[in-house]
């Protein structure tokens, strides 16, 4: 019995080590899934990929938190809920000056990514207008 318990403990240890070894860091998730279009520092490409710099601004307006997960590049990506939460929190932390935000959780991502944005461009512009109205940003670019 004691030997079986020791074996079980060892098996659990090695399983946990293996899954930790396989887990991709948030920075590498960004490199592998976002970097190609948004760039190393999140500058984006005008007309092709929106900038990620200052992304935490969107968390300050109603609907902004959901929008960041509902956009197709995030909600339809091949990443799982935990990976999306991890890389989104990393982007918010690395590319925004205001880092005082409540991090996303896998459960929240799971719920939000089930929603499809019917009017992506309209939603984005409405949120940017709100950011200007609330004086979070000076222009709706």
Partner 1 sequence: MDQLVESISRRIAQRTSRRSFLARLGTFILGAAAIPLLPVDRVAHAQSAGSTDFKKSAHKNPNDDLTCDYWKYCAIDGFLCTCCGGDSHDCPPGATPSPTSWVGTCHNPGDNRDYIVSYRDCCGKGACGKCLCGNTEGEMPIYRAQLDSDLIWCFGAPTMVYHCSTAEIVGLK
> What crossing angle do the helices spanning 26-33 and 81-95 adopt, rounded to 10°?
90
Residue 33, interface with partner 1 (CB under 8 A)? yes
Residue 86, interface with partner 1 (CB under 8 A)? no
Please tell me the distance from the alpha carbon of residue 56 to that of residue 101, in angstroms, as a whole number: 7
Residue 48, interface with partner 1 (CB under 8 A)? yes
Spell out the long-range contacts of 115-121 with Cβ–Cβ below 8 A and sequence spacing 24 or more.
Answer: 115/66, 115/70, 115/75, 116/70, 116/75, 117/67, 117/70, 117/71, 117/72, 120/71, 120/72
Judged by CB under 8 A, which of 8, 23, 32, 132 binds partner 1? 32
Residue 18, interface with partner 1 (CB under 8 A)? no
Judged by CB under 8 A, which of 28, 107, 115, 133 binds partner 1? 28
Judged by CB under 8 A, which of 27, 75, 82, 140 binds partner 1? 27
Please tell me the distance from the alpha carbon of residue 29 to that of residue 34, in angstroms, as a whole number: 8
Range in contact with partner 1 (rule: CB under 8 A) among 34-42, 60-68, 84-92, 102-110:
34-42
Residue 35, interface with partner 1 (CB under 8 A)? yes
Residue 31, interface with partner 1 (CB under 8 A)? yes
Please tell me the distance from the alpha carbon of residue 69 to that of residue 67, in angstroms, as a whole number: 5
Cβ–Cβ contacts within 10 Å for residue 28, how many? 13
Residue 83, interface with partner 1 (CB under 8 A)? no
Residues that bind partner 1 (CB under 8 A): 24, 27-28, 31-33, 35-37, 39-40, 45, 47-49, 78
């Amino acid at each position: 019995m004691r030997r079986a318990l020791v074996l079980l403990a060892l098996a659990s240890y090695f399983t946990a080590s293996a899954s930790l070894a396989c887990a991709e860091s948030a920075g590498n998730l960004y490199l592998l899934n976002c970097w190609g279009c948004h760039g190393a520092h999140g500058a984006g490409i005008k007309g092709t990929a929106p900038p990620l710099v200052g992304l935490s601004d969107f968390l300050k307006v109603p609907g902004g938190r959901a929008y960041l997960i509902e956009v197709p590049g995030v909600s339809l990506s091949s990443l799982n809920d935990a990976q999306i939460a991890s890389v989104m929190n990393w982007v918010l932390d690395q590319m925004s000056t205001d880092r005082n935000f409540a991090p996303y959780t896998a459960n929240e991502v799971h719920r939000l990514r089930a929603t499809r944005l019917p009017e992506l461009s309209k939603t984005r512009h409405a949120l940017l207008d709100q950011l200007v109205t609330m004086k979070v940003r000076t222009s709706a670019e």
